[in-house]
Amino acid sequence: MAAIQPVSRAGSVDLPPPPFSLPRRAALFLDLDGTLAPIMPRPDDVGPDPRRARVMARLRERFEDRLAVVSGRSLPDLDHILGGGVPSIAAVHGLVRRAADGAVVDLPPHEDLEDARRILGELADCERGLLFEDKTLSVALHYRNAPGCAEAVIEAAERLSQATGLVLQLGDMVAELRTPGADKGAAVTAFLREAPFLGSTPVFLGDDLTDEDGFAAASRLGGFGVLVGQPRPTEARHRLDSPADVLDWLEALAAPADALGVTA
């Protein structure tokens, strides 16, 4: 089975909050759902937010555009939610990546994705509460509103992964089958090879198991990860309780450089 198994720490350890003093050339990589926005019953329930938009604009100025959103959502969905205010985006867990200059790199859909689309769509039609999501390069079945279906959804996704070679990505109350390719860690690595991220220290914020690849990449490249949510085994070195705490921390980071202890 082509399932992703992120490397994580052996035990759940509570972690300190991230510092307000970051390296002078730090770069921020931010997940969306569960990090910049609370988890909602339906993905479509998350939309543009004035406070978040202001924070993103200030961070882009403060960090000289070394800001990227790295999410499982599609690129059009992210542009809608972020109001088009973030040029650098990795979508569908890194399968689609838009650089700061607007160039987009993506892959053709896996040949068996259509079968997965049909089967997961039929499952969603058969069970009230299941929500099917199509991201072009992946398809997902959310069971947040039908938790009793978790075992059946995961089993169906595992069988499809085994039969097709699609990558099974398990997230927060969702099973996703996606075209093989880059993950969030690979997206961070790719950004750091390009302007304006070249030579910067990566800081990755995320809440889900899918973000562990981003945490690991940030650590490997001289930075660190910040877990959002309850303590759990993780590659992150810091933790914040909720998206509200994330926005508070980001607002403080967006303050003028002389207001923070920014290090060289």
Q: Which residues pair with 62 in a beta bridge?
A: none
Q: Which of 31, 183, 208, 211 is catalytic?
A: 31
CA angle 225, 228, 229 (to 5 degrees): 140
Torsion, Cα of 98, 102, 105, 106 (10° steps): 70
Which amino acid, residue 214? G
31 is an active site residue: yes
Tokens of 96: 């689609």
By DSSP bridging, strand 201-206 and strand 26-30 are parallel
174's CB contacts (< 8 A; 6+ apart) are 133, 140, 141, 142, 143, 144
Residue 107's nearest CA partner among 118, 120, 97, 117 is: 97
Task: Give kind and range of the element (H or E) at residue 142.
Answer: strand 138-142
Supply φ then ψ for residue 185, to 5 degrees: -65, -40
Give me the residues paired with residue 3 across strands: 168
Nearest to 146 by CA among 127, 129, 164: 129
Q: Which residues are catalytic?
A: 31
